[in-house]
């Protein structure tokens, strides 16, 4: 194992609503959250009709600068901010894909 994360913040289990809902009275919308490392398809603008319209990458987080997602490109070994994304949350990330 190369990396590990431990949650060292103390917390108590509250019955009923979450802490956010308890404090604000609003149920948080978590529909835009995606699993780290899930497969994404990024639409590439300006391609011709017979060329592939999207490239496959991996989701690694959200940009702090703009409203975009950080996408890792395994072939290029680089990370870019992308906006036109189709998410594939149905396929879980395997350990062999992460180690590559």
What CA–CA distance (Å, rounded) separates 38 from 60?
A: 8
* Residues contacting 85, CB < 8 A, separation 6+: 40, 41, 42, 43, 59, 69, 71
Average pLDDT over residues 56-81: 92
Q: Please report whether residue 87 resides in a domain.
A: yes
Give the domain CATH number at 47.
2.30.30
pLDDT tens readout for residues 27-56: 888 887 888 888 999 998 898 999 989 999
**Full residue range of the structural domain in which residue 60 is found:** 29-99
Three-state DSSP state, 22: helix
Look at residue 26 in the predicted model and tell me its pLDDT: 87
Q: Please report whether residue 82 resides in a domain.
A: yes
Percentage of the chain surpassing pLDDT 70? 79
Q: What is the pTM of this model?
A: 0.67
Place 100 in a pLDDT band, splitting at 50, 70 and 90: low
Q: Please report whether residue 8 resides in a domain.
A: no
């Amino acid at each position: 194992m190369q990396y590990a994360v431990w949650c060292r913040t103390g917390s108590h289990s509250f019955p009923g609503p979450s802490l956010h809902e308890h404090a604000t009275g609003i149920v948080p919308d978590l529909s835009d959250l995606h699993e780290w490392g899930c497969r994404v398809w990024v639409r590439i603008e300006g391609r011709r009709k017979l060329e592939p319209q999207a490239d496959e990458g991996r989701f690694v987080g959200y940009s702090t600068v703009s409203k975009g997602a950080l996408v890792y490109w395994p072939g290029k070994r680089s990370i870019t901010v992308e906006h036109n994304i189709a998410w594939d949350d149905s396929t879980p990330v395997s350990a062999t894909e992460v180690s590559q």
